[in-house]
Amino acid sequence: MHPSSIVPLLIGAISLTLSPVLSAAANVVKAQGSAEQGFKLDPIAPPAINDAAAKAVFTLVDGAKDEASGELSVLNDGKVPTGASQPASNFIFDLGTPGGRIAADLGELVPVKSVVTYSWHGGICGPQVYKLYAANGRSKDFDPAPKRGVDPTKFGWVLLANVDTRPEKGEVGGQHAAEINNKGSRSLGDYRYLLFDVERPSESGPKANTFFSEIDVISARGPEIERLNPEAKIVREYKSKDGKYRYIIISTEAPDLTEWSEKELVPVILEWYPKLVELLPSKGYRAPDVVTFEYKRGIGPPAYAAGNRITMKTEFYQDQLTGEAKGCTVHEMGHVVQNYWRANQTNRKPKETPGWVTEGICDYIRWFLFEPKSRGAGLGKDRADSAKYSDSYRVTGNFIDWVVTEKDEGLLQKLNAVAREGDYEEKLWKEWTGKTLEELGEEWKTAIKRGKREQ
């Protein structure tokens, strides 16, 4: 993070106008965080929720919105993006154009203590460059929407500040904030209208316009300001339709995955957790009815399950949103439902279920029932010699699918029930199918050789 700097701006030019607030001398306080830090950009406070801009009406006076941009209402919704590149959670002028003008009508005269603007982008669209004008709307030649090329100070506006948060050196991207205030506790003046004349933050190089995340207007009259809490945990809870199961998703370490989880992952969880419970029943067994999913950074495997808790590697999920993320979650939910750890409590002399059985079951469900179209567990003819039923994961998944299809459609349930009770033994394969595990393995390899296990 760059040290914040305070840039006093004395607006001498204003003294030439007839405005009653000529003497306003605004400070611009700048702050930048080079990465994600929840807009905790000391000395500027995090965005306010109940500020005077919350009820303001923002309008586009000049310029065009970028097609990826959110609506102007994102500027005062009290919310900020959860990631460095979320255009829809920001207001952005058309990247190919040189900015534009935005007006805000606060609805009434407000003793404006400060105006604070927040932006976030990982690169050149992070910094803010704009002029802020204000008006009380009472001057008889007042123009509420002066286009570019028109000097607002000739139409009832005063220039409050020139803002430029571009760092002199170092990283330009990250979270930026600019606070325009009056030194001490005095207000900037009584205003109803604000006008932001926004410039593009980079003249050279690729097209750019600032990703504006939030604009706050703090009134000297109060109320006491409530702010976004950057340290807050991000926890969302979902219930199955029948109210039987609850799912808790903690994305504190992956705020940018909060929306994806809700829109994309939760539907999969809602559909597939109960399905897994149905696929893996056993006498007297009740699967956990609360499952917690938590994103963690920097863990080893893509995901793992312990008890009724699934830990998901943030970086893996970020990378695999349209790839493995959902299937991986289904696999881990399989482990939560399997609950094979419980055999140690329910069985006085539990037999150990081989890891390849446990993993093979979850991958069988994942690749053959959840996402058969991905054909992720197919085995080509060339694998006939090297594949072994006990290779675990998707190879065992393929083997289980073959046994279920060719020998015993109830195999999954039988295998699961004995594993869960600590009663797994190799000889059971013969009881269920009439063939030993080795014989089954050989027959399955023959099927691979004939090209029948390509999925």
Could you list the residues that contact Zn ion (CB under 5 A)? 359
Q: Considering beta carbons, is residue 51 or 359 the nearer one to Zn ion? A: 359
Q: Considering beta carbons, is residue 94 or 391 the nearer one to Zn ion? A: 391
- Calculate the CA dihedral of residues 85, 88, 91, 93 and round it to 10 degrees: 80
**Distance between CA atoms of residues 7 and 233, nearest Å:** 34
The CA-atom distances, in angstroms, between 222 and each of 153, 195, 218, 234, 253 are: 28, 22, 8, 28, 34
Alpha carbon 392 to its chain centroid, in Å, reads: 33
Burial class of residue 107 (count of CB atoms within 10 Å of its CB; 0-12, 13-18, 19+)? exposed
Q: Considering beta carbons, is residue 91 or 356 the nearer one to Zn ion? A: 356
Give min distance, CB of 181 to Zn ion, in A: 55
Asked if residue 294 lies in contact with residue 309, where contact means CB atoms within 8 angstroms, the answer is yes
Asked whether the CA dihedral 344, 348, 353, 354 is positive or negative, the reply is positive
Instruction: Name the helix (H) or strand (E) containing 406.
Output: helix 393-406
Which among 52, 50, 4 is positioned nearest to 27, based on CA atoms?
4
Q: Considering beta carbons, is residue 124 or 336 the nearer one to Zn ion? A: 336
- In which residue are the tokens 């009584």 written? 190
Q: Considering beta carbons, is residue 122 or 334 the nearer one to Zn ion? A: 334
Give min distance, CB of 305 to Zn ion, in A: 7
The encoded tokens of residue 387 equal: 């594949």
Give min distance, CB of 335 to Zn ion, in A: 6
Give min distance, CB of 312 to Zn ion, in A: 13
DSSP code, position 266: H
Asked whether the CA dihedral 205, 209, 213, 216 is positive or negative, the reply is positive
Q: Considering beta carbons, is residue 196 or 317 the nearer one to Zn ion? A: 317
Q: Considering beta carbons, is residue 94 or 359 the nearer one to Zn ion? A: 359
The encoded tokens of residue 18 equal: 């007839």
Classify 149 as helix, strand or coil: coil
The encoded tokens of residue 390 equal: 């006990």
Give min distance, CB of 307 to Zn ion, in A: 14
For Zn ion, which residue has the nearest CB?
359
DSSP code, position 367: I
Give min distance, CB of 392 to Zn ion, in A: 9
Q: Considering beta carbons, is residue 217 or 377 the nearer one to Zn ion? A: 377
Give min distance, CB of 227 to Zn ion, in A: 42
**Distance between CA atoms of residues 405 and 289, nearest Å:** 31
Asked if residue 86 lies in contact with residue 122, where contact means CB atoms within 8 angstroms, the answer is no
Give min distance, CB of 362 to Zn ion, in A: 5
Reported residue count of the chain is 455
Q: Considering beta carbons, is residue 19 or 338 the nearer one to Zn ion? A: 338
Give min distance, CB of 380 to Zn ion, in A: 24
